[in-house]
Each structure stands twice: as C-alpha cells, then as structure tokens.
Amino acid sequence: MKRAVAAAGPLAPAALLTAIAFVLPLAWLLRLSLDRSSGGGMLVDAVTAANYLRFLGDGFYLGVLWRSTWMAALASALTLLLSYPLALFLARTRSRWRGFLAVLTIAPLLVSSVVRTFGWMVILGDQGWVNGLLRLVSLTAAPLRLMNNMLGVLIGLTEVMMPVMTLALIAGFARLDPTLEEAARSLGAPPRKVLLRVTLPLSMPGVLLGSLVTFVLSISSFVTPKLLGGGRVAVLATSIYEEALETLNWPFAAAISVVLVAVFGVALMLYERAMRRWMI
C-alpha cells in the first residue's frame, strides 16, 4: 500500500496535468450536455437526456454521424494508399537527398491546414487550375464541381493528413528488419509478394497507428469540411461549431461533442484489438 503510494509519487504531476488538461474539460462537457437551451441560445440549468435523444432520434443527425464516420474512414484509406509507397521509399532510399525529401514530405505540417486548404481552393475552384486545364483542352463545357462538396473535402483531407500518415508509417518501417525481406526474396518471393506477405503485415503497427491518427484527426477536422465543403458537408465537427457559435445551443453542441468522443473511443477500441492481432 505504502509502496504503491511511493511509486505513484513521481507520477503525481503527470496525473494532475492529465486531470487538468483532459478529465476536467471532459467532465464539464458531459455536465453541459445535460443542460437545456431555450429559444435563442439561453442556457438553462437542468439534468436531461433531451440533447442525446434529439441527436439519436433524428435521422438528420444520425446522417451527420454516419457521414462523418465514412468520410474519415475513406480519407484515412486514401491517405494510406498514397502515403504507403512514399513512406516505403523514404524509409528505404539510400539517396543522399533522403533527409531533404523527408523534410519536404513533412514540411506541410509547418503550414496551417487553413492555408493548405486555401491552396486547394485555388486548384479545385470553378476558375481553378484543374478546371482551367480542362477548359484549355476543351474536355468540359461547364466547370466540374470539384469542391464545395464531399469530393473537395476528401481531396483536401487526404492531402492534409498525408504527412501525419507518412510519419507514422516511416516509424513503423524503421522497426522492420530489412533482412526479413531479403529472406523472403531468397525463398523465391518476387517483389510483389515480398510486399504483400512480409512488408505489409510487418508494417501493420505503423499502418494501424497512422490510420487511427488520421481517422481521429479527419473526423474532428473542422477547417477542411467547412472551407472545401461549401457548407454542404455537414459533419460532427461543423455541427458542433454551428451549435456552439451560431445557434448558441451549447448543451446540444456539448452532446454532439460527447458523441464525437464516443466515436474516438470506438476507434481506439478497434485499434487496440487490431494491434493485439498484429503486434508480434
């Protein structure tokens, strides 16, 4: 007993920090989600499940939940697909440019996602580069709608998430012994099979970590769906923003936030389960 207390001693500051940084705000959010809001955003003290019942009993909000989930899942999958070869190259190349290339890959992290999203608006807009090019070669009469819809959001999210995913994958590859791939080759595996049977399964911890992080960041991302969705892509994060800052219905915003935290929880659980399967 005493020893347990003594052992906890050095952890106390960390525990306190966790409590202040995570537990308290979450507790406050939970409490707020049980309050009521009367017309025009007035906050009323109460203990009611009304906000949750409204969310769960309304096809519109369930649709928002569903859309958020598949948007984040699809963005993660696209990000993984594009980042995997890039990360594999960066992890394996012996080029003297390797450091430079790695920095180049991760550099977008230094630029705010707002600015990067603006960049995509320049590229994807009706007067943007892509449509300009299509017009130039007379492929399209009317501009293609590449943004202000879900397509634009997915393109933007994928790009925003790629550095994060690439970092997670590179970390995963670093723990993969290249000798294992040589062993596979010596046993008769052509490059494709080496990738499928050895590299991919052994990089699963990195894949899973990267996917978890991009999923969580995507589903909670606000800027990209807001700016590239043209207001048409209603997801949990944009709904929270609207309820908190436009309709001023804080209790409902809190309830949606709690739902979002619950989605994180489920994602984390799936991650843990998959990790147990793949951790060797």
| 5 is an interface residue for other proteins by CB under 8 A | no
| 53 is an interface residue for other proteins by CB under 8 A | no
Region binding other proteins by CB under 8 A among candidate stretches 17-25, 129-137, 187-195, 268-276: 187-195
| 232 is an interface residue for other proteins by CB under 8 A | yes
Q: Is 74 helix (H, G, I), strand (E, B) or coil?
A: helix
DSSP class of residue 20 equals I
Region binding other proteins by CB under 8 A among candidate stretches 69-77, 98-106, 133-141, 229-237: 229-237
75, 106, 243 from 119: Cα distances, Å: 18, 17, 28
Tell me the C-alpha distance between 193 and 84, whole Å. 16
Alpha helices (H) in the chain, listed in sequence order: 2-8, 12-18, 24-32, 50-56, 59-92, 98-106, 113-124, 129-136, 150-174, 178-186, 191-194, 200-202, 204-219, 223-228, 236-245, 250-278
Tell me the C-alpha distance between 77 and 74, whole Å. 5
- For the bound state, the minimum distance from the C-beta of residue 148 to other proteins, rounded and expressed in Å, comes to 5
Length of the chain: 280
| 202 is an interface residue for other proteins by CB under 8 A | yes
Cβ proximity to other proteins, 91 vs 164, nearer residue: 91
Distant-in-sequence, close-in-space partners of 150: CB < 8 Å, separation ≥ 6 = 67, 71, 229, 232, 233
Cβ proximity to other proteins, 73 vs 244, nearer residue: 244
**Cβ 238 vs Cβ 222: under 8 Å:** yes
- For the bound state, the minimum distance from the C-beta of residue 144 to other proteins, rounded and expressed in Å, comes to 11
Cβ proximity to other proteins, 8 vs 38, nearer residue: 38
* Sign of the C-alpha dihedral computed for residues 106, 107, 108 and 112 taken in this order: positive
Count of residues that interact with other proteins, criterion CB under 8 A: 49
Binding residues among 59-78 for other proteins as defined by CB under 8 A? 60
Cβ proximity to other proteins, 89 vs 278, nearer residue: 278
- For the bound state, the minimum distance from the C-beta of residue 15 to other proteins, rounded and expressed in Å, comes to 25
Binding residues among 134-173 for other proteins as defined by CB under 8 A? 143, 148
**Binding footprint of other proteins on the chain (CB under 8 A):** 39-43, 60, 118, 121, 125-127, 143, 148, 177, 179-180, 182-191, 193-194, 197-198, 201-202, 226-227, 229-232, 234, 242, 244-250, 278, 280
